[in-house]
Amino acid sequence: MAKSDYYGTLGVRRDASPDEIKKAYRRLARELHPDVNPDPATQERFKEITQAYEVLSDPNKRQMYDLGGDPFSSGAGAGAGGFGAGFPFSDIMDAFFGASGASRGPRSRARRGRNATIRVELELRETAFGTTRELTVDTAVLCKVCTGSGASPGTHPDTCDMCHGRGEVSQVTRSFLGQVMTSRPCPQCGGFGSIIRTPCPECSGDGRVRTRRTIKVRIPAGVEDGTHIQLAGEGEVGPGGGPPGDLFLEIVELPHDIFERRGDDLHCTVQIPMTAAALGTILSVETLDGKEEIDVRPGTQSGQVIPLYNRGVQRLNESGRGDLLIHVNVETPTKLDPQQEELLRELAKLRGEERPPGKFAPGQQGFFSRLRDAFNGR
């Protein structure tokens, strides 16, 4: 009889590692198991991959097979088509159930609590320099009557008489392999292994009650709109007196009347008359640190930016602050009395600007150029 190609049967290389061989077998076993596919040809194929795995998973049998010998000659395993002591039943169970049929045991009633998120509205000054807030939180806390057990005082949970405290029940079915045992959570106790006959009257057996509590939190300097702050262990207590989840603070930064925040920098706009822009002046401006004076130099143009360094927002978890950038907007008067108009005309005459030629800045176009582009579809 021709020698079987066990490596080809499992679809692995001859130098495949034991882990690669095991993964290949489990994958094929899920596809070809008789309980999944009862076709006779498939059953025969399942026998082949099982025999191949029995040989290649055993270092001694694999070595004998690689040397051209009979891996079953030692009597350690069964003959072709049979299943001896080396039959990989546990690996078939792994392929279908993810465990070797071992008992998982009862589930704990104590589970971690859920996380909670609350929105905190802050003024710009509070986000820039940090603050301390007292927050009222509606949450679940440990029941003081039963201390989390869920049972009425003086009582205790009874062992489940269906699963006898194991938290799971087993079922035996017959298959091509013989008897196969599967386990599932006990339907009577829900997998806990015990039943609370007399629930706590305060929490109804949950081990926790809802209440309102106040906590004091410190908001660090430099947070901004959308920042999330995690407070570990300040969330809800879990069912059965389990550990609490976390509380997350979502920062909402309220708009400011003067400043617009962009990262760590602040921006604002000041309006100055054209005479002040031409002659220069001293302006008193608001900052987060109070009023400060800035020097507007003669000839300042509309749109020019005057920086005040280190007057912005404190950098989060870093040293230093951003800047305050003051945008200058030069106002042109719309109404002049006769004397003002005469003075401006005199100034224009002195500067030779009675009929200014007009200059186009780079990138700008005249009326006829724009009209031509419109007709050309640009």
What pLDDT digit, counting tens, does each position of 134-157 carry?
Answer: 999 999 999 999 999 999 999 989
Average pLDDT of span 257-286 = 94
Each domain of the chain, given as residue ranges in start order, spans 6-97, 116-157+196-253, 260-350
Residue of higher predicted confidence among 95 and 186? 186
Using the predicted structure, report yes or no on whether residue 101 has a pLDDT greater than 50.
no
Annotated binding site: 143, 146, 160, 163, 186, 189, 200, 203
CA–CA distance, 300 with 53 (Å, rounded to integer): 86
Residue 127 clears pLDDT 90, i.e. is over it:
yes
Query: Residue 319 — pLDDT band, cuts 50, 70, 90?
Result: very high
Identity of residue 115: N
Name the CATH architecture for the domain at 260-350: Sandwich (2.60)
Q: Which of 175, 194, 191 is nearest to 183 (CA)?
A: 191
pLDDT tens per residue across span 334-357: 888 999 889 988 888 888 877 777
**Most confident range, picked from 29-33, 37-41, 74-78, 98-102:** 29-33
In this predicted structure, what is the pLDDT of residue 84? Answer: 46
Task: Identify the band that residue 170 occupies on the pLDDT scale cut at 50, 70 and 90.
Answer: confident
Phi first, then psi: give them for residue 31, nearest 5 degrees: -85, -35
What is the distance between the alpha carbons of residues 54 and 83, in angstroms, rounded to a whole number? 9
d(CA 90, CA 374): 79
CB 198 within 8 A of CB 152: yes
Judge: domain 116-157+196-253, CATH 3.40.50.150: no
Average pLDDT, the chain: 83
Residues near 324 by Cβ (< 8 Å), separated by ≥ 6? Answer: 259, 265, 266, 267, 268, 287, 288, 307, 308, 311, 312
pTM over 0.75: no
Question: Which pLDDT value is given to residue 34?
Answer: 66
> Looking at the domain 6-97, which fold is it?
Helix Hairpins (1.10.287)
- The C-alpha atoms of residue 95 and residue 50 are separated, in whole angstroms, by 13
C-alpha–C-alpha distance, residues 37 and 354, integer Å: 99
| Averaged pLDDT, 253-274 | 95
Q: Indicate the annotated binding residues for Zn(2+).
A: 143, 146, 160, 163, 186, 189, 200, 203
Residue owning tokens 């008789």: 34
Same fold, 6-97 and 260-350: no
CA dihedral 332, 337, 342, 345 (to 10 degrees): 20
Please tell me whether residue 328 adopts helix, strand or coil conformation.
strand
Strands 228-231 and 247-253, sheet pairing: antiparallel
